[in-house]
Amino acid sequence: MRLPCSQGSLILTTVQIVELSVPSVHDIGALVAFGSGVVYITLQSIISYKSCPQWNTYFVCHIRMAISVISCIAFIPSILYAVLSENSFYVSFHQDYTYHVLSAICEWTVAFGFIFFFLTFIRDFQVGIYIF
C-alpha cells in the first residue's frame, strides 16, 4: 500500500494541474495517492486494534480510527466534486468554482488526516537511551 501511495504522490507533485497538456495524469496521481493512502491508514488502524494492549493504548487506537474514518469520509466527496468541476481554470464567478473549492477542501482534509495519523506514531518510534 505504501508503494502506490508514494508513486501517486510523485505523479501528483511532478505533474501540476496548471499544465494543460495532461491534467488527467495529475488527477490519476491524486486518485492513486489519496485512495491507497486511505486504504493504508484504515488497515493500519485495524492492525493497531489487534495489537492494542501490548503495543499501544486504546486511546491511540480510537484516535487512529477516527482519523481514518474522517479521511475515508472526505475522500469520497473529493472525487465527486472533482468530477463535477470540469474547468481547468477557475474564476470565482464560474459555476464550477464552488465544486472546485469543495473538492480542494476535501483533498486537504485527507492530506492533513495523513499527517495527523502519522503523528500518532511518535511514541512508537521514540528511542530511549538505556544505560546498563
Provide the percentage of residues in the chain whose pLDDT is more than 70.
Answer: 70
Angle between helices 23-50 and 2-14 (to 10 degrees): 150
71, 117 in Cβ contact below 8 A?
yes
pLDDT per residue as tens digits for the range 59-82 = 999 999 999 999 999 999 988 888
Asked whether residue 2 carries a pLDDT value surpassing 60, the answer given is: no
pLDDT, mean of residues 83-105:
74
Asked whether residue 15 carries a pLDDT value surpassing 60, the answer given is: no
> Tell me, what's the pLDDT at 17?
54
Buried b (16+ CB within 10 A) or exposed e, 100-127: bebbeebbebbbebbebbeebeeeeeee
Buried b (16+ CB within 10 A) or exposed e, 87-99: eeeeeeeeeeeeb
